[in-house]
């Protein structure tokens, strides 16, 4: 059994935005030479998350709009006494920091429309995403 790690550095440019990491993650899988196993993608922060969905510009704006509506930063949060990003922590808590996908026949298994994004919730920042592959 083989375990491979690859750290991805991501610089975000807006407060809330989606950054597509699919190509970079597929390259990690390809270069690893792994034939079958699992791929764990995890962000090492409490104000971002990893989500999987279609890379369509309208939808990507919809996701940001929905997060702004569902997790407003309206000042009533206790965490905002010491910082100003409770909205981002709450969204990250609910959506989660990681996703796991299969590796099969040497490639990452994903549906036609399934792209992998870092969801920035409190940018702009420099983010670290860790990709771990485990398998044969």
3-state secondary structure the chain: CEEEEEEEEEECCCCCEEEECHHHHHHHHHHHCCCCEEEEEEECCCCEEEEEECCCHHHHHHHHHHHHHHCCCCCCCHHHHCCCCHHHHHHHHHHCCEEEEEEECCEECCCCCCEEEEEECCCCCEEEEEEEEEEC
Smallest gap from residue 76 Cβ to a second copy (A): 9
Residue 22 lies near a second copy (rule: CB under 8 A): no
Contact flag: residue 52 with a second copy (CB under 8 A): yes
Choice from 68, 73, 77, 125 touching a second copy (CB under 8 A): 77
Candidates 9-17, 24-32, 71-79 — which segment interacts with a second copy by CB under 8 A? 71-79
When asked if residue 102 is in the footprint of a second copy (CB under 8 A), the reply is: yes
- Residue 10 engages a second copy in binding (rule: CB under 8 A): no
Contacts of 89 (CB under 8 A, 6+ apart): 46, 47, 79
- The span of 8-16, 25-33, 107-115 binding a second copy (CB under 8 A) equals 107-115
Residue ranges binding a second copy (CB under 8 A) = 1, 3, 5, 36-38, 40, 42-46, 51-54, 56-59, 61-63, 66, 70-71, 77-82, 86, 89-90, 92-102, 104, 109-114, 128, 130, 132, 134-136
């Amino acid at each position: 059994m083989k375990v491979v790690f690859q750290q991805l550095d991501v610089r975000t440019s807006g407060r809330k935005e989606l950054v597509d990491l699919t190509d970079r993650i597929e390259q990690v899988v390809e270069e690893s030479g792994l034939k079958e196993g699992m791929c764990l993608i995890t962000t090492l922060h409490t104000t971002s998350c990893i989500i999987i969905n279609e890379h369509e510009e309208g939808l990507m704006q919809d996701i940001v709009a929905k997060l702004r509506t569902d997790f407003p930063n309206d000042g009533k949060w206790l965490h905002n006494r010491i910082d100003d990003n409770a909205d981002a922590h709450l969204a990250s808590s609910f959506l989660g920091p990681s996703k796991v996908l299969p590796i099969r026949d040497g490639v990452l298994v994903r549906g036609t429309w399934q792209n992998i994004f870092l969801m920035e919730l409190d940018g702009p920042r420099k983010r670290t995403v860790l990709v771990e592959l485990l398998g044969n």
